[in-house]
Structures are given as C-alpha cells and as structure tokens.
Amino acid sequence: MPADKAEAVAGILVEGDLMGHTTHGLHLLGGYLREIEAGTMQLHGGPEVVADAPAALTWDGRRLPGPWLVLQALEAAAERARRMGTGTVVIRRSHHIASLASFHKRATDQGLMLILACSDPNAASVAPFGGLDPVFTPNPVSAGIPAPGLAVVVDVSTSATTNGLTNRLHAEGGKLPAAWVIDGHGKPSDDPGVLFKEPKGTILPLGGLDSGHKGYGLSLLVEALTGGLAGHGRADPKEGWGATVFLQVIDPAAFAGLAAFQRQTGEVARQCHASRPSQEGRAVRLPGEKGFKLAATQRTEGVALHAGIMESLAPWAQKLKVNPPASR
C-alpha cells in the first residue's frame, strides 16, 4: 500500500482502539490484509469524479481503502464548507471505512461540524421492522459537534448492535447484553449464533421489538443519504465487503458564527452534566466523552488491544516478515 494510504488506514484503525471501539480498530487489520491479498481492496490511484457541483461532490471510490477515501473526502468537503458554509461528498464503491468516531476530531478541531454515515450494499444482516428477511447492514450514522472543551461525538448504528460485535461474540461463544437479535422464526434472543443457523436470524433495528420502527426509519434515511445520493447501492450487483459513504461538513462560521454555536452547544453540555444521575455515582456523560478520555490515557500508557487481536495477526506477521511489537 502506498505510504500515504497506509498512514491513513493505520491512523484510523489505531484511533478506533484508542477510543475503545475494539471491533473497529486493529481487529479489522487481518480482514483488510485478506482483501488486499485477494485483490478486492485496490491500492493505487484515487477516486473518480462522478459529479461535481459547487457544494456537492460524488466519487466512485474504485474500492480503494475506506479510511483514506474518507479522509480525502473530509478535506474536500471542509474546503467547500469554508467557502460556501457546507460541503458534501458521497462515495460509491468505497472499501470498508472502519470506526466512524475516529474521523470526527479532525473536523471539530477546526471548528467544523461533521456528519458521517455509511451502508454496505453488498451485505444484509438487519431486517426491516416487522420482517424476518434482512435488507440493511447496521447503517451507522455519526456526528462531530464542536463544543467548548471536548467535542461531542455521536456514533450509533441504526440497528440494535453491529456485525463486528455479533461476529466476535459468536466466535467466542459469548452472549449479547440483551435480546438484540431474532432467530429465523422471529423469536428474540441474546445468542448471536442465531444469525448463523438455518433459518438464519437477523439483527433487530434500533429500538428492538418495542420501538424498532424508529431504527427502521433511520436505516432508510442512511440508505437514501448513501446509496440514493451516490446512485449506487442495493439495486446494483454485489462486489464484496465495502461501503457507500455520506460525508457532510458544516461551517458554523457561515451561520450565526462559531462563538455563538459553541455558546449554545456549551450550555447544552453544561445542563447535561448538571443533570442529577439516575444511578448514584454515575454522572451523566456526553457522547464521545468516555472515548476521548480513554484515548488520552492510552496515548500515555499504551493501547489495550482486545484479547486475540495480536494472536490473529501473528500468521500475517510471519508471512509478511514483520516483527510484531512486544507487549507492554
């Protein structure tokens, strides 16, 4: 992989582990290496421009590394946002883009707001509300919001859980924290194994059996922002593990001004922190706060990788003649 792409992918994967998103950090590296070896992740060149309007840009990602493509898109969207108040880039045929939360600080440090969402039209593991047959991937949507002190970073799947967590727990023989999946007959379960048995079950939309219509609606919104705007998605032939991406940068300076924006976000943050905790000893946190504090600690003390990650990378290290780092 060319050095600029390798640096981008490495940085985003490590950022995932720094912030505690252990299913979307170096856990992904083995899978990425397999895709490179198979030729299904492309390494050279850049995206092709499909459409270019003043505040909107559409790329064909050519199955290039997702983290690098998103960082390129962020740079392009930020430049347009500074000129026009907002800039949007949608990417068809990107490869997997890792943890969405890993990108936002790069925008909020510049006083910019970032909205990022993705889907993978090549796969389906989430059924529509009331259905048994999967249509969607977990379709995450995220936002980075500048605020005094730490930025607010929201990163949520529109499903009850993710493929990364269900796959990991299934491999480990573990259970989900709650009944976030249904089996092939519609019975709720905390066993990720029902996703792999015939008839196969599915992940529930966010809200579960009680209010999953909300997650279902959000999944449809992500599909429209990604596949719809990119003009490439579930209506097209499958090409393998990948992503369709929506990225929008908003410059508060073009609206009421950054100072006014942060005055409002800061006050909302203050009121949230001041809210009496429902559980004694557990103060209210803002989205992203735990991850930022964990990252600060781990930058000093070292990154705690989830059990099994280094072991899974050992065969690749041997094959590629790379000396694995020693544990601290």
Domain boundaries, the chain: 161-203
Q: How far is CA 38 from CA 5, 23, 183, 241, in A?
A: 18, 22, 33, 12
pLDDT reported for residue 325: 86
Kindly give the residue spans of alpha helices, DSSP state H, lying in the chain.
3-18, 29-38, 66-84, 104-108, 163-172, 208-223, 229-230, 258-274, 289-301, 309-320
**pLDDT 10s digit of each residue in the chain, 328 long?**
999 999 999 999 999 999 999 999 999 999 999 999 999 999 999 999 999 999 999 999 999 999 999 999 999 999 999 999 999 999 999 999 999 999 999 999 999 999 999 999 999 999 999 999 999 999 999 999 999 999 999 999 999 999 999 999 999 999 999 999 999 999 999 999 999 999 999 999 999 999 999 999 999 999 999 999 999 999 999 999 999 999 999 999 999 999 999 999 999 999 999 999 999 999 999 999 999 999 999 999 999 999 999 999 999 999 999 999 888 7
Amino acid at 19: M
The 10 Å CB-count burial string (b at 16+, else e) for 274-293 is eeeeeeeeeeeebbbbebbe
Collapsing DSSP to helix, strand or coil, 52 comes out as strand
Tokens at 322, concatenated: 């790379």
- Distance CA(230)–CA(89), nearest Å, equals 9
pLDDT reported for residue 285: 97
Residue 27 CB contacts under 8 Å (≥ 6 apart), including other chains: 164, 168, 306, 309, 312
Amino acid at 286: L
Q: Are 120 and 100 in contact (CB under 8 A)?
A: no
Instruction: Record the pTM.
Output: 0.96
Q: Are 82 and 113 in contact (CB under 8 A)?
A: no
pLDDT reported for residue 321: 96
pLDDT reported for residue 328: 79
Q: Which of 95, 145, 136 is nearest to 116 (CA)?
A: 145
The 10 Å CB-count burial string (b at 16+, else e) for 33-42 is bebeeeeebb
pLDDT reported for residue 207: 96
Residue 91 β-bridge partners? 59, 245
Judging by beta carbons within 10 Å of its beta carbon (0-12, 13-18, 19+), is residue 117 exposed, middle or buried? buried
Q: How far is CA 165 from CA 180, 189, 318, in A?
A: 11, 15, 27
- Distance CA(293)–CA(295), nearest Å, equals 5
CATH superfamily of 161-203: Hypothetical oxidoreductase yiak; domain 3 (3.30.60.50)
Amino acid at 235: A
- Distance CA(226)–CA(220), nearest Å, equals 10
Q: Are 153 and 144 in contact (CB under 8 A)?
A: yes
pLDDT reported for residue 194: 96
